[in-house]
């Protein structure tokens, strides 16, 4: 069997990734899209794109699109319908090739309890656990509440003691039902100092299965990965062989076909490993395996789906160097990594050092709440792990990026910590090491960025001038005060005063001078007191994204006259991101205690509880359950108990 036309039933970077390999194999590609993605880059990459009337979960509409486009096969990417056994069966029933494992394997491994039972049957070590919450004490605290049909950190809660069990169970069940349509959960022992290790497997329809070594994905927030690498700095040859053989036992028992991943938890102290789950799809982090093995996993998926044999054995797999992947997200690390929204005013990946960008966005893309906030995966490969980390950090740092809050600066800080470079990357890494959550520019860096922005703006103004455009900036036929601009960066304010000199230079109010060597509508090459740099600048209204040596600074040009704004509400609980109110636990007049959950928002299929920071009384409730709210919305107001005491005195 061979394919001529492939329908890609996904979006974003993974749709682009699949299309790229399929095109290299001479296969025509058809994309599907919803209205929110009408202008997305993957739609343009495809040879043809068909609009879906509903969502990417509408299997019936996707099948109709495949038939209408004359597709031979369907590739589901990851997420959405990729691990939906019913959809896989429908694709096969329609006479199309399913680029993935058999529906029976998907169904069996989609149930975490069934997967764990198979692991025990094949003598793969498993963690102590139970389906009965009454067994919590015997499982032991701390423990994990996990969704039976879960993945991606959804429906998962760490419980430190019996006091928090009931609330964790309720929240995990709601999240699991919302994310997977199945509210079953189970308990599992929590290993505090652990590593998340996964083995990539490939199997064909002729009984051949191999593994492609391990990936370590231990650095996570909210149980979701943000940095992955291959090989793991903790895994030696003997451990790799043991984990690889355990993964292959499971694969053979499943009669596994296509690409898949067997995930393990590695106790960092003892070196013991325990089975977690089997992901019956391509993983987000698959590029690091491709980098160190030279094997294109999408190509292998397509070959296997076409009935071709792998054509190689385990002994033929070779590994080269080290690869690290960073997931670039629209999220705010300083605000508990909550997703962020907005428009990408600036998005220009660094030209060097050479890294791989798997990206689903472009400059001008709108980042909303409809989908996962991942912007791109950035992958570095080098002869050594240290070199790969340095290359990845520098590529991220040199990328021009802004308009939406991202985790870029946090990723750079993480990659450069001594602990990461030493390979000390257990699952508690973020809490234990506490990498800087964002870029903290010095006063000098802010001033340099503001001066570059001011001189760039004068060029913009001259280029737009309807008359006297050739006249120098600030030119008058009489001496007037210096030109003055005021920028803000966060809570800091930077004022720039300058005057153009007769020789074409500019002088600032501290006596330093600057010379513009080159200017364009998106950059300026300026020298200040002998220090020269080319600065990339993007603008949206009064917001300027100024790229400096350590990354980007967002400056806001202040108006000459103050514009009155709304006042903050004292004691107000404000939505930090767009979401839906799914639980409101208080009413006006209710007393509350510090730490008590008052309201629960749902965003990106995850629950975000908001808790009282001090004792007080609810004075106002401004929302209701089921209401959709925007970022910045005041949800409720709590008057502190201290304020009441002071009022009575």
In the CATH hierarchy, which top-level class contains the domain 328-424?
alpha beta
CB atoms within 10 A of CB 293: 18
pLDDT digit string, tens, across residues 30-76? 999 999 999 999 999 999 999 999 999 999 999 999 999 999 999 99
Handedness of CA 271, 272, 274, 279 (dihedral sign): positive
CB 214 within 8 A of CB 235: yes
CATH T-level topology, domain 572-648: OB fold (Dihydrolipoamide Acetyltransferase, E2P) (2.40.50)
Opening angle at CA 604, ends 191 and 81, nearest 5: 90
Where exactly are the structural domains of the chain? 5-99, 106-127+194-320, 130-189, 328-424, 443-557, 572-648
Question: Which residues contact residue 489 at a Cβ distance below 8 angstroms, ignoring those fewer than 6 apart?
Answer: 441, 446, 449, 450, 553, 554, 555, 556
Same fold, 328-424 and 443-557: no
pLDDT digit string, tens, across residues 110-151? 988 899 999 999 999 998 888 899 999 988 899 999 998 876
CATH T-level topology, domain 5-99: Rossmann fold (3.40.50)
The whole-number pLDDT of residue 614 equals 84
Assess whether pLDDT exceeds 60 at residue 479: no
Phi-psi region of 446 (alpha: psi -120 to 50; beta: other; left: phi over 0): alpha
- For the chain, the farthest-separated pair of C-alpha atoms sits apart, in whole angstroms, at 91
Q: What are phi and psi of 107, to 5 degrees?
A: -65, -45
Calculate the dihedral angle through the C-alpha atoms of 455, 461, 463, 469, rounding to the nearest 10 degrees: -110
Superfamily (CATH) of domain 106-127+194-320: ATP-grasp fold, B domain (3.30.470.20)
Q: Does pTM top 0.75 for this prediction? A: yes
Residue 629, token pair as written in the block = 């709210």
The whole-number pLDDT of residue 565 equals 38
Radius of gyration for the chain, computed over Cα atoms and rounded to the nearest angstrom = 27
Superfamily (CATH) of domain 130-189: ATP-grasp fold, A domain (3.30.1490.20)
The whole-number pLDDT of residue 564 equals 42
The whole-number pLDDT of residue 578 equals 76
Assess whether pLDDT exceeds 90 at residue 191: no
Q: Average pLDDT of 467-482?
A: 54
Q: Report d(CA 35, CA 396) in Å as an integer.
A: 31
The whole-number pLDDT of residue 464 equals 73
Question: Which residues contact residue 29 at a Cβ distance below 8 angstroms, ignoring those fewer than 6 apart?
Answer: 5, 6, 7, 8, 18, 19, 22, 23, 45, 46, 47, 48
pLDDT digit string, tens, across residues 274-298? 999 999 999 999 999 999 999 999 9
pLDDT digit string, tens, across residues 140-158? 899 999 998 876 677 889 9
Please list the alpha-helical segments (H only) found in 443-601.
443-464
Q: Average pLDDT of 390-407?
A: 97
Q: Average pLDDT of 188-199?
A: 92
pLDDT digit string, tens, across residues 322-363? 999 999 999 999 999 999 999 999 999 999 999 999 999 999
pLDDT digit string, tens, across residues 158-169? 999 999 999 999
The whole-number pLDDT of residue 612 equals 86
In the CATH hierarchy, which top-level class contains the domain 443-557?
alpha beta
Calculate the dihedral angle through the C-alpha atoms of 408, 220, 333, 425, rounding to the nearest 10 degrees: -70
Q: Report d(CA 260, CA 282) in Å as an integer.
A: 6
Q: Report d(CA 625, CA 415) in Å as an integer.
A: 41
Q: Average pLDDT of 504-527?
A: 95
Q: Report d(CA 441, CA 394) in Å as an integer.
A: 17
Q: What are phi and psi of 112, to 5 degrees?
A: -60, -30
The whole-number pLDDT of residue 466 equals 57
pLDDT, averaged across the chain: 91
pLDDT digit string, tens, across residues 559-615? 764 434 334 566 778 887 778 899 999 999 999 998 889 999 887 667 788 888 888
User: How many residues are there in the chain?
Assistant: 649
Q: In sequence order, what are the beta bridge partners of 500? A: 506
Band of pLDDT at residue 398, cut at 50, 70 and 90: very high
């Amino acid at each position: 069997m061979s394919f001529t036309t492939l329908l890609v039933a996904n979006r974003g970077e993974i749709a682009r990734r699949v299309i790229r390999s399929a095109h290299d194999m001479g296969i025509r590609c058809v994309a599907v899209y919803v209205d929110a993605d009408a202008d997305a880059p993957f739609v343009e990459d495809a040879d043809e794109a068909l609009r879906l009337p509903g969502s990417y979960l509408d299997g019936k509409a996707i099948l109709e699109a495949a038939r209408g486009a004359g597709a031979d096969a369907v590739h589901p990417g990851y997420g959405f319908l990729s691990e939906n056994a019913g959809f896989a069966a429908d694709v096969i029933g329609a006479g199309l090739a399913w680029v993935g494992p058999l529906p029976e394997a998907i169904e069996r491994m989609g149930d975490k309890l069934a997967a764990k039972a198979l692991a025990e049957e094949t003598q793969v070590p498993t963690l102590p656990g139970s389906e009965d919450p009454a067994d919590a004490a015997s499982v032991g605290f701390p423990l994990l509440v996990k969704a039976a049909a879960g993945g991606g950190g959804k429906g998962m809660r760490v419980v430190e003691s019996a006091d928090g069990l009931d609330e964790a169970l309720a929240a995990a069940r709601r999240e699991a039902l919302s994310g997977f349509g199945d509210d079953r959960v189970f308990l599992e022992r929590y290993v505090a100092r652990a590593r998340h290790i996964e083995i990539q497997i490939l199997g064909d329809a002729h009984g051949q299965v191999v593994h492609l070594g391990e990936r370590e994905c231990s650095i996570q927030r909210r149980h979701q990965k943000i940095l992955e690498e291959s090989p793991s700095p903790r895994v030696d040859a003997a451990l790799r062989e043991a984990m690889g053989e355990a993964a292959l036992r499971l694969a053979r028992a499943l009669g596994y076909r296509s690409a898949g991943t067997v995930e393990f938890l590695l106790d960092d102290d003892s070196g013991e490993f325990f089975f977690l789950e089997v992901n019956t799809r391509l993983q987000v982090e698959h590029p690091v395996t491709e980098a160190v093995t030279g094997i294109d996993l999408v190509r292998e998926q397509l070959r296997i789906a076409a009935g071709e044999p792998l054509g190689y054995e385990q002994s033929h797999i070779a590994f080269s160097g080290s690869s690290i992947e960073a997931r670039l997200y629209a999220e705010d690390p300083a605000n508990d990594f909550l997703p962020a929204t907005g428009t990408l005013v600036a998005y220009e990946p660094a030209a060097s050092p050479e890294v791989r960008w798997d990206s689903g966005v472009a400059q001008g893309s709108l980042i909303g709440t409809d989908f996962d906030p991942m912007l791109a995966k950035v992958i570095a490969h080098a002869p050594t792990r240290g070199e790969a980390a340095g290359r990845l950090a520098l590529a991220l740092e040199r990328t021009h990026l802004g308009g939406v809050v991202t985790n870029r600066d946090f990723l750079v800080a993480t990659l450069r910590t001594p602990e990461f470079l030493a390979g000390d990357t257990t699952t508690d890494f973020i809490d234990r090491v506490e990498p800087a959550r964002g870029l903290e520019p010095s006063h000098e860096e802010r001033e340099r960025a503001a001066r570059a922005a001011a001189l760039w703006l004068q060029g913009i103004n001259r280029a737009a001038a309807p008359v006297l455009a050739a006249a120098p900036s600030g030119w008058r036929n009489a001496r007037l005060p210096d030109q003055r601009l005021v920028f803000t960066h966060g809570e800091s304010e930077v004022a720039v005063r300058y005057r153009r000199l007769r020789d074409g230079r500019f002088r600032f109010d501290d006596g330093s001078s600057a010379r513009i060597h080159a200017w364009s509508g998106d950059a300026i090459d300026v020298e200040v007191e002998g220090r020269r740099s080319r600065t990339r600048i993007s603008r949206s209204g009064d917001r300027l994204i100024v790229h400096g040596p350590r990354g980007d600074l967002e400056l806001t040009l202040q108006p000459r006259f103050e514009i009155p704004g709304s006042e903050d509400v004292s004691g107000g609980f404000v939505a930090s991101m767009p979401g839906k109110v799914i639980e409101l636990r208080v009413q006006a007049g209710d007393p509350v205690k510090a730490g008590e959950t008052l309201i629960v928002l749902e965003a990106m299929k995850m629950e975000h509880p908001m808790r009282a920071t001090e004792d007080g009384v609810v004075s106002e409730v401004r929302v209701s359950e089921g209401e959709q709210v925007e970022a910045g919305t005041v949800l409720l107001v709590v008057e502190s108990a201290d304020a009441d005491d002071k009022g009575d005195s």
